[in-house]
């Protein structure tokens, strides 16, 4: 071994230091920007003199309690949506014309009509056919079917994004079609679609406000119902907005961790 240990040039240390301090400065200004925006909004609300603390103490907890129903409905809906999307995507890629036809029809109909119309149809129109569903169930069905259709296309793209060589390698090992799908293609497709699914879930948390219109007492319903009669709408909807925002931030945090975990060992 050579004894000549090259001395680390001083410039490298300076570059590191400069880079670190630039990054610190960036983070500090970023945080300060947020604080300023929030303070400005807070000050604006304060200036309107709309801060009925008695009202907030009375109804704040009630509004917050709606968050539980919002989360519950969103979670059930996303599970339904993922299941529908999985079968929908396999159907959209199926060579069987009946299965393909059903899946394509589903996507076309659901994407072609407004979520609100679907919700009203399930809650108000199905009873005409003798199918009577409670509000929460109707909401979950509407959200699940609606997002399932959009996610069908995401899943389909994810499956198609798995390199064809993966399928060929599995087939060449003698794996039958079902096994190829279940063990090789779908696990890889899942990794590909997780960011998009997470995005849809965030959108769904907020679209769940629509189900207040059939009387589900979730976050938005409670804010509206308590805020409007007493003219405390500002307080009510600011609370609701903050809760929705907090929910999505919490969810994004877990989603990022999941994505990082999934990325390990990949390619």
Partner 1 sequence: MKLGEVVVRATGIEKYFGDQHVLRGIDLEVRAHETVMLVGRSGSGKTTLLRCLNFLEEPTVGVVEIDGVRVESDPLHARSRRHQEQIRQIRLRAGMLFQDFNLFPHMTVLQNCIEAPTRVKRIPKREAVATAERFLEKVGLSEKRDEHPSRLSGGQKQRAAIARALCMEPKVLMFDEPTSALDPELVGEVLKTMEELAHEGSTMIVVTHEMSFAREAADRVIFMADGAIVEQGPPEQVLDAPQEERTQAFLQRFLGETPELEPRP
- Interacting residues with partner 1 (CB under 8 A): 95, 163, 165-166, 168-177, 179, 183-184, 187-188, 191, 264-267
**Shortest approach of partner 1 to residue 174 CB, angstroms?**
4
10 or 172: whose CB is closer to partner 1? 172
- Given a contact cutoff of 8 angstroms between Cβ atoms, the answer to whether 77 and 204 are in contact is yes
In sequence order, the 6+-apart residues with CB closer than 8 A to the CB of 205 are 70, 71, 74, 244, 247, 248, 251
61 or 265: whose CB is closer to partner 1? 265
Q: Nearest-CA neighbor of 74 among 163, 155, 136, 9?
A: 136
- Given a contact cutoff of 8 angstroms between Cβ atoms, the answer to whether 42 and 218 are in contact is no
**Shortest approach of partner 1 to residue 90 CB, angstroms?**
16
**Shortest approach of partner 1 to residue 171 CB, angstroms?**
7
63 or 184: whose CB is closer to partner 1? 184
Map residue 163 onto helix, strand or coil.
Answer: coil
**Shortest approach of partner 1 to residue 185 CB, angstroms?**
10
Dist. CA 207–CA 204, nearest whole Å: 5
In sequence order, the 6+-apart residues with CB closer than 8 A to the CB of 242 are none
112 or 174: whose CB is closer to partner 1? 174
DSSP H helical ranges for the chain: 10-47, 53-92, 97-111, 115-120, 135-161, 164-172, 177-179, 186-207, 219-227, 233-263
27 or 183: whose CB is closer to partner 1? 183
**Shortest approach of partner 1 to residue 256 CB, angstroms?**
20
């Amino acid at each position: 071994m050579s004894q000549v240990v090259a001395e680390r040039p001083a410039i490298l240390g300076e570059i590191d230091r400069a880079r670190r301090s630039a990054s610190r400065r960036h983070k500090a200004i970023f945080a300060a920007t947020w604080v300023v925006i929030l303070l400005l909004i807070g000050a604006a609300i304060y200036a309107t003199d709309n801060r009925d603390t008695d009202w907030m103490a009375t109804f704040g907890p009630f509004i917050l309690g709606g968050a539980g129903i919002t989360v519950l409905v969103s979670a059930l809906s996303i599970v339904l949506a993922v299941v529908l999307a999985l079968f929908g995507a396999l159907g959209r890629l199926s060579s069987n014309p009946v299965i393909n036809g059903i899946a394509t029809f589903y996507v076309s109909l659901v994407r072609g009509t407004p979520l609100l119309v679907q919700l009203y149809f399930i809650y108000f129109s199905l009873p005409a056919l003798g199918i009577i569903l409670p509000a929460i169930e109707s909401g979950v069905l509407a959200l699940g079917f609606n997002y399932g259709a959009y996610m069908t296309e995401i899943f389909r793209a994810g499956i198609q994004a798995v390199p064809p060589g993966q399928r060929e390698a599995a087939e060449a090992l003698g794996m039958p079609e079902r096994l190829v799908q279940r063990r090789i293609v779908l696990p890889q497709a899942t990794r590909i679609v997780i960011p998009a699914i997470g995005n849809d879930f965030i959108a769904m948390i907020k679209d769940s406000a629509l189900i207040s219109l059939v009387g589900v007492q979730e976050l938005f319903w409670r804010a509206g119902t308590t805020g409007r009669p007493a003219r405390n709408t500002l307080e009510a909807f600011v609370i609701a907005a903050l809760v929705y925002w907090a929910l999505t931030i919490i969810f994004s945090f877990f989603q990022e961790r999941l994505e990082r975990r999934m990325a390990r060992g990949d390619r």
